[in-house]
Structure 1
Amino acid sequence: MINLFSPLRTVMIFIIFGIIWLLTTESLLRSLAERIPTLFWHGHFLKGIVFISINGLLLYWLLNKYITSLHHSEKAYIRIFKESPHAMWIYDRNDLRFLKVNDAALNIYGYTMEEFMRMTILDIRPEEDIIKILNNQAAYSEGFHTDGTWRHLKKDGTLMYIQIQSFGTSYNGKEAEVVSIWDVTDKYLAEEALVQQEKLLNTIINSTEDLIWAVSADKQFIAFNNPFQNTIQNFMGVKLEVGDNLTKVETESDYLRWRDFYDKGLRGEKQVIEEARELEGFGMAYAEITFNPIAVEGKITGVACFARDITERKQQEIQLKKAVERYEIVSLATNDVVWDWDLTTNKVIWNANLKELFGYEEVDDNVSWWKKMVHPDDYAKAVFTLEEVIRTRLKHWEVEYRFKNAEGEYRYVNDRGYVLYNEDDQPARVIGAMQDIEDKKNYIEELQKVAHMSSHGMRRPVASMLGVVGLLNKENFADPENLPLLEYVEKIAKEMDGILHEVADKCNAIFMDVEKE
């Protein structure tokens, strides 16, 4: 809106009115002087008085309107300042004291107007920022300023981050500055968290020995970690930079092969492959490589790749394969049930003899299955003793107990185990062999019966024979009284012969059973 009462416009109105007055009154006086010559001089005197009077009144009216307009503008600006949704204040540039503070600042900072009027702008700053504030004040320059992000303190000690805009002015005759702030604490903390997260992410991806890189849809490197860059430089002699094409680090044949993996990733397919290369001075090296599509707002823009060195694992797998082959060969050479208990997973691997000796087609590979097959009366002797060997860091375990077969019958077994420890000297595995000794136990019982029979059956006739022999006349065997005694000895000898034949028959039967087995 045009202000009709500005100083310049007031002067222009005064000049225009003066010129119009002079021109019109001069012509009028000349016209009257031709008729009445004496009126010319009186008219000039009267014209001056009227001119001064009219101009005084006009000037008063214009100045009064201008001052009134200034008051209205000042009130409007004060209202805008006071009711602004942004915190604002005016402070004295010389002593830094607050001169005026709006309602938004009172609400945000928690101080009353009286408290603010006793404070300086340093009172709402952290102590460690004061030197920086003073240096900033010393570098003050005229005009509008955007002073960036600063830290402020509320009355309750809460720290907030604010952005400041300011400009110099004069307030009540003092050199002052008007300040407007925006609370950007949430934005600042979010951005700071994002920066910290990015730093942490960079630290993580650069602290690992695994290789991480990303390729755009144009087959250009858009990101990679330090191990990947160093690996490329060491083995390819190329200093890789962001934006380089794949062809910079691969031969044509390798590029065509790798391009297929990237193309599948760009089509949304996740892939995991194993790569083997022979490195000079190192031998065969193996890596597991994962290709993951990068999706931004539902659109695939690239492929993120992750390569893990699995050389040690592959070597262990090769060694394990050889060990399994040896294990299978050993299994063919023994009737024992060979088992391997992984203490980390609690899984048990059984060889084929479990089926041959005990009839099980399939079993649960958890160690709990074996524990359930142990006879309840032998549980402590079998299970607890093995757990005690592991707990006390021993290596050897051996025990006889009864084990249930697939038909629900319990058979005696002799079980032996050997505990293996890892590089941290912690129990890792137990390798064992279970031998079915049911028939052996039966043979022993039969032999014990035979021994009992032979010892007790022979003792009586031998004792009788010894008694009869003691009655014989050894000085004269022809003595007629020896005849009945000799007949009795013959009878005892035949009885002993029968016992010996019975023992022999039982032994032959046991041996024939052994041969059948």
Structure 2
Amino acid sequence: MNAGMDIGLIGGAATLRALTGLLRGIDGLRASPLGDLASALRALPAISCDLLLVEATDPAETAYAELALLAPGAAWVALDPSDDPQRTAAWIEAGASACLALPGADSLQLQHAMAQAMAVHASHAALRRRHDDLRGVFERAPLPMWVYDLATLRFLAVNDAALETYGYSRAAFLALTLYDIRPAEDHAALRQHLQALPPGPVDAGLWRHRAADGRLLNVEISSQPLHFAGRSARLVLARDVTAQRRAMHSLEASERRFRDLFEQSLGLICTHDLDGLLLSVNPAAANALGYRVADLVGQSMYNVIPPSLHAHFREYLQRIARQEADSGLFYVLHRDGEQRIWEYNNRVLQDEAGNRFVMGHALDVTEYRVYEHRLRQQQAELEAVNDGSPLGLFRADPQGRYTYVNRAFERMTGLRSDEALGQGWLRALHADDRDRVAAQWREAVAARTRFQSRHRYRPDTGQTVWVSLQAAPLVVEGEITGYAGSIEDVTARHMVEEQLRRNEQRLRTIADALPAMIAYVDAAQRFQFVNSAYEHTYGGGRGRIVGRHARSVLGDAAYQRRLPFIEAGLRGQHVVFEDEEERDGGYTCLQITYIPQWDDDGRQVLGLHVMAQDITRQKIEERRWIQAAERDSLTGLTNRAGFLVRLERALARSRDQRSLLVVMYLDIDRFKQINDSHGHAVGDAVLKTFAQRLLAVLRPSDVVCRLGGDEFTIIIEGMRRPQYASAAAAKIVAAMRKPFLLPNDLTLAVSTSVGVAVTMNEADLSPAQLLERADAALYEAKSAGRDGYRVRGAAAA
């Protein structure tokens, strides 16, 4: 008993005296007589008691129930004149925390009854607080929750979040059943779910619910059994994922587009962390280094950087971490040891977790840099030859002022050397050329570059002299110390060239007006003439074809295709043929004619007149008709006709190469039910989504076909082991188990059955027999319960 406890005594005078006597021996208690029951009920609102000792006469008397209302914080002991156990139970039911037979009771028994009453009252108070707490958690939970009766499916309780989400009042919601918040088309699935409902908790599942205003909500439902108000019931937690599902669908589409861009891009793309560890590499970058993607991901970039450049690479990592952007050249090692040059442009980004990483894009410029180096060498050699020419020579300072001219220069310009120094040489220029040449010379000096010009001089004799002038800067230890140049008298050549130019201009005007590409190639296979159409196609319209070899202009691949026809033309044959190629990201087909050009005696072929007509549009139209005949109009996949052609070719390659060939025959489980339940528009949408998922999980080299209806076939070549066929089939089955998100917020559960036929080194096997093997395996998969696969052939993989 607690010291300082306040005790209220209720009863007649005799009872109060008896209680006072029993309590006298107990220390620390404060007893207050409250009179009979009626008097006590009037006094209790004004006083505070921890425990009431109540003379109890009739358990049916309703006044005893008021004790708990007027003194909710006090326990009370019923002091009954009888020791009948049944009366004890009645007093407990009436609200007493304990009961004691008063006649013959001693102080110890009274203490025991009082302690029992206090303990029971404290326990009941704790239970009430816990009940209030749990009720508060349920009512104020942020996610919708409700309780429904397992027998009637009627709602027994609902929290505020559910009422807000579904738009009902509490009374309206509690008048509903589980079927009332489901669309009618989902009732059958709900019945099946309830029939298969396990007795224990059920993890989250995706359902459609209908709100009070008719909106369809996508919700994740989890539930667990409980007893509520004496009934078998289930507590349900609902999570509205409508917006999340839309966002996931959009995110999946975005990720698919990014993945296609990353994997199909011809650019060299990779990501690495700030320590140089490769996080991702696209196929183009891996192939450029002679590796597979899997070989590089997770490796340090130090492994593909020449050891002599590791220090520079560390500086790059420090620099991009500090500046968050960097560009320049990487020297990387191909798998075969060859050093390649990549021109990169990288930036630092952050992932969702805030981790920084580097996204890089690069171009392989190895060949370009080699070509550039060779060009610089050739230019240096040519400049050395020009600078040493015994023609008109001159020197100039870094500002372009002449400091020396030789006698040949004096003779061509008609100026003495002292007259030509400084800017004096400009006086010898023809009046029509003076301003142009002076401006160009100033520009070249300002840009510190070489200078070339063809212009006229008017020496004292009055005869116009055409000269070709070339000048080059003199570089010593990286500094330009001046310029050295030469001039050559090209008057006679200029006259001939002018005549040839006029003749050629007339011929070119005619040739350029023709819609065909026209050219002339000499016996050494070097271009001597091209019209504008040919120049635009192969030279980019920049005058880079004449004088070049056919291989250099056409490229190795096109040159090798046309070489037999070129050789036939140079042997004197009139040749007409078609040449197809993929160029500049597109398809081109040309009809090419080679006409031999004989010498005057008709004994030797001097070259070939070339005429090429673009017949791409005709060829594309022919291809389009062929492709249309082998393409399924709904899914865009290869149709039955195309499949049979590809299967025959694949089987022939398998026999020739003794390689593994896998054919899969699959369909959509219970597709007829989907069509019957949702209509053919939904069925078509399911077929399209099914086809897209097949393409997503298979390799780009695998052939995916739709035979018709919901029947699909797949041809897989190049598998190294038969067991991989089972893995591919399992991957397809798993991919189809994800819900199909269709138009109008319709979500369907779809599965597939797959029959797998495997063959290797079966010389007498026909395409029809291989397809029958796959069909038989499909029948086995369906007989085994659908949503799975079966394999036949190659020891059943």
**TM-score normalised by the shorter chain: which range applies?**
0.3 to 0.5
TM-score by length of 2: 0.33
Higher relative contact order (CA 8 A, sep 6+): 1
| Larger-gyration structure (1/2) | 1
Structure in which a larger fraction of residues adopt helix: 1
